[in-house]
Structure 1
Amino acid sequence: MTRIVAGSAGGRTLQVPPKGTRPTSDRVREALFSRLEHLGAVSRARVLDLYAGSGALGLEAASRGAASVTLVESARLAADVCRRNVATLGFAGTVTVAVERVERFVARPVLAPWDLVLVDPPYDVPDDELAGMLGDVAGALAPDAVLVVERSTRSPEPTWPAGLERFDDRTYGETRVWFAQPERALA
């Protein structure tokens, strides 16, 4: 069972697509968001959740006070689950669902920069495809934004594009999480 860990919807259960997704465990989400809140990266943030699946990461951010959240998911069944979760939790005014390929979504110009980007691609997304997508996202970040990439511990560290620099990584069981920021934020 997947649930929202904390915040206004804490303890509420999420629907999960019957196949094709790998929801981030409650334990990993709790640790991840503890770190993000310590960094001041969630409250009032514009959040982008790429490869959203059930929407658990983005919905956790909304529950913890994000100003707005966009869930991007290309699988129609998973996107429908995201929409139902948004409605059930009462986040219709805060969370939107974009049904399209992540690569296409991030290639478009943005109206305002993202403060927090959560990237949890399927494990079979090739490293070079992930690197290209991160390159597109890098240009759409606020100066003090945080970008998080979640992968298997068997996956190599993402190739960070120019302008992004890793500042931390954590391992939780079989899950590895990397944190990056625009280079200018680290100066």
Structure 2
Amino acid sequence: MSRRRPPFRQRHQPHRPSRGGGQLRLIGGDFKRRRLPVLDSPGLRPTPDRIRETLFNWLTAATSGARVLDLFAGTGALGLEALSRGAAEAHFVERDPRVARQLTNNLATLDATARGRVIAADALGFLAGEPWPCSLAFLDPPFRQGLVAPCCARLEQGWLADDAWIYVEMESEARPKVPASWALHREVRAGDTTARLYRRHIESPTGDAC
């Protein structure tokens, strides 16, 4: 789930200090129960264990050997969980240099730098570059900033395999505008957040889905 929230959302709840020295706990796979430090940064939180477990139960057959793109990576909870569960590689895109450095350090702690790469860049700017097809994409932008639709559109420009899985998380009051080739597989709502998992289906020249 989303690792960053815009400051104005804090109006509806008392301020809670960021958990300096907080930790991300990986919940499955090779790195199960490994704990990693989380940078003390406003709005930065690991995806809750329960939500990650639900998501990766949905993705059981899709994670092994996957080529993963984790946009707006934050703590990297989703991409790291995918690596733990057998993904071949994961690219983490995070624009905050401090957060990106911590994620790089955590990959080194897991001895996973050969399979994980951190890109300190804005997600939309990154997606404007030379594409390569991933089989699993995580899209978890800051809420209420209009980032879901343009990111989805750019993902369609060469970033997705024909049968890719795409996870989108956003505010519950909004309905995502996604490409016609994406079919909704599952969705779950938690508070003011709705998470949706899509499967991409591309028609072959014979009319059959790839």
Cα distance in structure 2, aligned partners of 1:88 and 1:169: 33
63, 83, 87: which one aligns with 1:66? 87
1:36 matched to 2:95: no
1:158 deviates by 1.2
133, 140, 143: which one aligns with 1:123? 143
1:23 matched to 2:46: yes
Aligned residue identity for 1:62 = L
1:160–1:166 Cα contact (<8 Å) kept? no
In structure 2, runs of 5+ residues without a counterpart are 1-22
2:173–2:192 Cα contact (<8 Å) kept? no
- TM-score by length of structure 2 reads 0.80
How many pairs are equivalent?
181
- 2:160 is matched with 141
Identity of aligned residues (%): 36
SS of aligned partner of 1:118: strand
Equivalent residue runs for 1:158-177 within 5 Å: 158-177=176-195
1:67 deviates by 0.2
Q: Structure 1 runs of 4+ off > 4 angstroms?
A: none
Cα distance in structure 1, aligned partners of 2:28 and 2:113: 18
1:93 deviates by 0.5
What per-residue deviation string (whole Å, max 9, x for no partner) do you get for residues 3-44 of structure 1? 11111111011222212423211111111111111xx21100
1:174 deviates by 4.8
SS of aligned partner of 1:149: strand
SS of aligned partner of 2:80: helix
In structure 1, runs of 5+ residues without a counterpart are none
Cα distance in structure 2, aligned partners of 1:173 and 1:10: 27
Cα distance in structure 2, aligned partners of 1:167 and 1:6: 22
Structure ID, larger Rg:
2
1:62 deviates by 0.3
1:138–1:182 Cα contact (<8 Å) kept? no
SS of aligned partner of 1:61: helix
Aligned residue identity for 1:72 = V
